[in-house]
Structure 1
Amino acid sequence: MEKIRALLKNKKIAYMAETAAIVITASILGLILNRFGVAKENVLMVFMVGVLLVSTCTWGYEYGIFGAISSVLIFNYFFTVPVHTFAIMNPNDVALMAFFLIAAFISSSLTVRFQKQLIISKKNEETATRLYEMSEQFINATGKEKIIELGIRHIYEHTGYECIVELLDETVVSGAGKEYTSRDYMMFPIIGMVKQIGILKVLNHNQGLSVEQELIVKTAANQIGIALDREMIYAEQERIKVEVEREHMKSSMLRSISHDFRTPLTGIMGDCGLILESEDMDSPERAQLVQDIMEQSMWLMKMMENILSMTKIESGQQFINKSPEVVDDVINEASLHVIGLRDRRNFQVSLPKEVIVADMDARMIAQVIINLLDNAMKHTKEGGSISLSVSYRDNKAYFVIEDDGDGVLEELRERIFDEFVSGGDKSTDQKRGIGLGLTICKEVVHAHGGDIWEENRNVRGARFIFWIPAKQVE
């Protein structure tokens, strides 16, 4: 039984068996019809149908020809006079069988051609489907490495060959790291929209490529070129966009600086002019003018500190120098640098009883606190309340700055920590910042491994909270 099964697996033997079965079936059916008085011409049509079935069920001309010759011999033996011999007495029978053979050969040839065309059309359809799927995947591919890996994978899946992609500036290799010579591969250009950007080397080891394989490789090379060109264009557009935004930011910063520096400078010049012109000015008035000059100068100094800090942050250089610092000392130092905080506002500080030490850049954290307190000053009225509290939990020091102002506008909450975002200031000082303070706060806190956020209080005003890693000293 195993030998029979092995023989049936052989296509040629299986086709011969099918041919023999069809011819025998046609012969038996012809004998039955002849017994019922059907003319031999009509019986011959049964054999013609049998030949067509052989051509349809098998693959190749030889089976149809074998079926046609066998049918003619059987027809001659059983249905022509004298019967049961291969002699032919009637010339009409000779012509009949000759035309039968011609018709059988033609029909068999046409059937085989139709089968080949059907197979070719199926292969073309499969190839078109593969190319469509490949193109669709390349549309969604992003990143130079992913695009090249996708093309290499498609070529390997559909041809079985590994390949190398060589671009103008680098080489991406798939497969084992081996040395290859020009005899080991075929080269295909990778062309973008306007120029060649690389070479695709298919490692076929001089085995050649079929028409279908070559079409797939060329399509993959073209798709790699188009996708890489698209990626380069997108990267260039992003670079131009960043440059435009950077120039816009510079322009916005210069406009803000020139506008916001004018107010304190005008005040300083006016106060200095009064001091110089008034020789009989009494001491309290002179002291007040000097105090105003000091406050305006400190305000300018803080604005310059923010601008310099932002410049360091945007340059990408390391701007944090950490060392162990006591939180209480940083709080006390920062509160002294906020003009009018204790004199013009109801300022309260709440510190924990335990000593909290944090690994931080004391100057930068102090600048964060100063910016937040300055922000609270700008958004509260004369005599308003501002509080600063520090708490410790889960190895984190939490800093909370609250005020009783109008709170953060809803339209600003999503971008309150972005650059050059400044709300309408309603303080009596009428001083505006250039919109860098909160951005610097975010960058500094994140550089310390912490986080910062804002929220409006239920009663009135805003609350800014940030934390940094810290530890409690026993």
Structure 2
Amino acid sequence: MKRTEKLLQRTKGYKRLVYILRSVLIVLSASLVCLLLNQFGIEKENGLMVFLVGVLLISVFTEGYEYGIIGAAVSVMMFNYFFTVPVHTFAIMNPNDVALLVFFLIAACISSSLAVRVQKQFLISQKNEQTALRLLEMSEKFINVTGKENIIRLGQRYIREYTGYECIVEGKEESAKTEGKKGAEKEEDAGDYLLFPIGGMLRQQGILKVYNHRQGIHPEQEMLIKAAANQIGIALDREMIYAQQEQTRLEVEREHMKSSMLRSISHDFRTPLTGIIGDCGLILNGHDQDETGQKELVRDVMEQAIWLNKMMENILSMTKIESGVQFIEKNQEVVDDLVYEAKKHIIGLKEHRDFRISLPKEVIVVQADGKMIVQVLVNLLDNAMKHTEEGGKISLNVFPRKGKVYFVVEDDGKGIVQGMEEKIFGEFVSISENSAGIKGSTDQKRGIGLGLTICKEVVEAHGGKIWAENRTEGGARFTFWLKAEQVE
């Protein structure tokens, strides 16, 4: 603080010396010009105009009234010394010269004061222009910034650049805590900072605390700080409104998804349940059926029940995923066991499709939730069965590469609709035979469109990646990888 005050005093002293030197040079220059004009026979009254111009120049090149007034007085003395009778003395013999010098002094003082006022107005207009430009720049920057932390950081930067003071932003809760601690603080500490409210359209967003360390604050600085506080409040209001709108949109989408899920479940449960009820009725009432016919009906009931159980597993898994809780419990699993376990859960895979498995010769283990990875493989193989004809080719190839194990499920069906390679991993989306290849395809193929979504969530929860693509020879290919290691 003391160093700053000394520096300011030195700066003021230097300016004062510069202004004195300028004034002396201007008066001397005006005197020389008048002497030259006198040599050419120009009347002395015209010389007073030269001194008047000199006084105006002093007012322009200095700051304050005193330099112009002192310059006018010195000019009168110089004119009296060189041009009034008796010359080279400060005595005045002619009353006309006295009146002339008095009116000159009055005119010079008035002109000097007017020039100073014009100069001050010009400086004020310059400051106002700079302030307006700063406010415009500030408002433009706040329009484009997003995120609460970025908004606060931008406001702090502008206040620091324009005022030189540090500041912090306290939210409503933090302000309440600060109020509770004020009784324990020393009274003199309260003078180290100034508080500015951060307003909002609906409520106060917080408090802007500017640390001025008892230095006071200029009105222009106060205006800039208040403008920054208002901009911070408007930007925070905008962020809050956007967050509320986003939350509303998510809730609407969630409700829409729930209704779609319930509609799909009711539709897809009705078909197998109707088949089970019909088959059971035939078994109970079919006294003349042979044993082979009854076994076929029982097998059909079993297939429908297993399919219902698979769909329930998908629904429960999706519920766990959307709840946000940790649904993965990793253990050391052998890849071959996972593949064979998944194959058991696909009814008719070997009987109705040309299914082939390719496994690595090495024993590959993964740190994974075995049940969830089996469900991923079941969903992919079941998806391949749905989209291939009777006798179609389906393959599951597993191979290690660079610390990862890749699972590739391929089929020779009609493939994926162009542009749907990413979208099919969304909820309630199925790659059926409809032309659009988008939501609403569950009417033709059984399934509520959760299988691939679950695959994506489970694989990514394990730190892996899954993707889909069309094969050049026809059909679809689904690939995912997990981190793995080889057992020696």
CA change 1:402–1:16 in 2 (3 A) is: same
1:274 equivalent to 2:274? Answer no
| C-alpha RMSD over aligned residues | 2.3
Measure the CA separation in 1 of the matches of 2:87 and 2:363: 124
Measure the CA separation in 2 of the matches of 1:288 and 1:187: 83
Cα deviations by residue, 1:310-342 (Å, 9 ceiling, x for unpaired) = 111111111111111211111111111112111
CA change 1:40–1:315 in 2 (3 A) is: same
Determine helix, strand or coil for the equivalent of 2:241. Answer: helix
Measure the CA separation in 1 of the matches of 2:479 and 2:424: 13
List aligned pairs for 1:27-66, cutoff 5 A. Answer: 27-66=31-70
1:283 equivalent to 2:302? Answer no
* Structure 1 residue 461, shift from structure 2 partner: 0.6
Question: Is the 2:432–2:444 Cα contact (8 Å) retained in structure 1?
Answer: no
Cα deviations by residue, 1:379-429 (Å, 9 ceiling, x for unpaired) = 1001111111111121211111111100111132231111111122599x9
Amino acid at match of 1:100: F
Determine helix, strand or coil for the equivalent of 1:412. Answer: coil
Measure the CA separation in 2 of the matches of 1:328 and 1:83: 123
Greater shift, 376-385 or 19-28, is seen at 19-28
1:25 equivalent to 2:29? Answer yes
Determine helix, strand or coil for the equivalent of 2:400. Answer: strand
Determine helix, strand or coil for the equivalent of 1:59. Answer: coil
1:166 equivalent to 2:180? Answer no
Question: Is the 2:469–2:477 Cα contact (8 Å) retained in structure 1?
Answer: yes
Q: Which residue of 1 aligns with 2:424?
A: 416
Number of residue pairs the alignment of both structures matches: 464
List aligned pairs for 1:392-471, cutoff 5 A. Answer: 392-425=400-433, 431-471=445-485
Determine helix, strand or coil for the equivalent of 1:389. Answer: strand
* Structure 1 residue 194, shift from structure 2 partner: 2.6
List aligned pairs for 1:49-448, cutoff 5 A. Answer: 49-170=53-174, 181-425=189-433, 431-448=445-462
Measure the CA separation in 2 of the matches of 1:150 and 1:286: 77
Measure the CA separation in 1 of the matches of 2:355 and 2:147: 54
CA change 1:444–1:137 in 2 (3 A) is: same
CA change 1:192–1:286 in 2 (3 A) is: same
Q: Which residue of 1 aligns with 2:3?
A: none
Measure the CA separation in 2 of the matches of 1:366 and 1:61: 92
Question: Is the 1:8–1:14 Cα contact (8 Å) retained in structure 2?
Answer: no
Cα deviations by residue, 1:281-326 (Å, 9 ceiling, x for unpaired) = 1112111111111111111111111001111111111111111121
Measure the CA separation in 1 of the matches of 2:42 and 2:148: 76
Determine helix, strand or coil for the equivalent of 1:96. Answer: helix
Measure the CA separation in 2 of the matches of 1:117 and 1:227: 35
Q: Identify unmatched segments of 5+ residues in structure 1.
A: 1-5
Cα deviations by residue, 1:77-116 (Å, 9 ceiling, x for unpaired) = 2222333333333322222212111111111001111111
Cα deviations by residue, 1:235-269 (Å, 9 ceiling, x for unpaired) = 11111111111111101100111111111111111
Greater shift, 257-266 or 202-211, is seen at 202-211
CA change 1:370–1:455 in 2 (3 A) is: same
- What is the TM-score of this pair, normalised by structure 2? 0.90
Question: Is the 2:268–2:446 Cα contact (8 Å) retained in structure 1?
Answer: yes
- What is the TM-score of this pair, normalised by structure 1? 0.92
Measure the CA separation in 2 of the matches of 1:320 and 1:280: 51
Measure the CA separation in 2 of the matches of 1:298 and 1:142: 51
Measure the CA separation in 2 of the matches of 1:256 and 1:36: 111
CA change 1:425–1:377 in 2 (3 A) is: farther
Q: Which residue of 2 aligns with 1:473?
A: 487
Determine helix, strand or coil for the equivalent of 1:452. Answer: strand
Measure the CA separation in 1 of the matches of 2:145 and 2:476: 46
Greater shift, 247-256 or 22-31, is seen at 22-31
Q: Which residue of 2 aligns with 1:3?
A: none
Determine helix, strand or coil for the equivalent of 1:280. Answer: coil
Amino acid at match of 2:346: V
Measure the CA separation in 2 of the matches of 1:235 and 1:128: 31
Cα deviations by residue, 1:128-156 (Å, 9 ceiling, x for unpaired) = 22222222222223222332233233323
Q: Identify unmatched segments of 5+ residues in structure 2.
A: 1-9, 179-183, 435-440
Cα deviations by residue, 1:365-386 (Å, 9 ceiling, x for unpaired) = 1111110011100110011111
